[in-house]
Structure 1
């Protein structure tokens, strides 16, 4: 039995569907097998196709989604350990190490910096508005 040549758009849609699966299920315990199954590809073929479309492996993409979601949660008062589990990591140590590699600081340091930034915005909100925008609106920005 031969496999027909499928249009590229069909393959692309399946890859996009797998990406959306990651976006919607990042906090769950998902792995390469789950993601490849969603796209109906063998995992090795899927890795190649996904990488060719997004310039990241599915695992790298899943990690980046989790870290971005963690950054959002760390902007709140949620404890870093709780953030770790909320975004799908099973180990605080591995979460902290990956976060530091990807963001450049530990989750706790990132959270402290976000709280300082939020306080500064509350203190002087006009300092955080681009001058060109403020001038266009007729606002006076004091530096």
Structure 2
């Protein structure tokens, strides 16, 4: 019985050599989802995956089609949309989603949605 278990383990390592890395990449995405409002350190996340920051970025992009930073920005903007619907002001939204600069938040929001946060808030409130 031990022989078969050892053989299955050996074969899985041969067939799926990056299985541990895949798991680490998935865990890092989950970490970003959970801690998006914090100051996320890419070096720290890559270190947990036991790879360099640059390799981590390449692998993350291969799995998810965007870099970790692009993914973080998407998560933050999606959360900002939800918070804006609660009629909170822009400063509160910035604080809740982890932006230090109101200007950079407004700029990124407009770039990703096509309208400013205030216009988004007003547009959505007019439909309710």
TM range (shorter): 0.7 to 0.9
TM-score (norm 2): 0.84
> Distance in 1 between the 2:108 and 2:97 partners?
13
When Rg is computed on C-alpha atoms for both structures, the one with the higher figure is 1
Question: Structure 1 unaligned runs (5+)?
Answer: 119-143
Counterpart of 1:60?
Answer: 70
Counterpart of 1:75?
Answer: 85
1:8 CA drift (Å) = 2.6
Counterpart of 1:116?
Answer: 126
TM-score (norm 1): 0.75
1:66 CA drift (Å) = 0.4
Moved over 3 A (4+): none
Structure ranking higher on relative contact order (CA contacts 8 Å, 6+ apart): 2
- Answer yes or no: is the 8 Å Cα contact 1:29–1:88 preserved in 2: yes
Report how many residues are paired: 115
> Distance in 2 between the 1:30 and 1:52 partners?
20
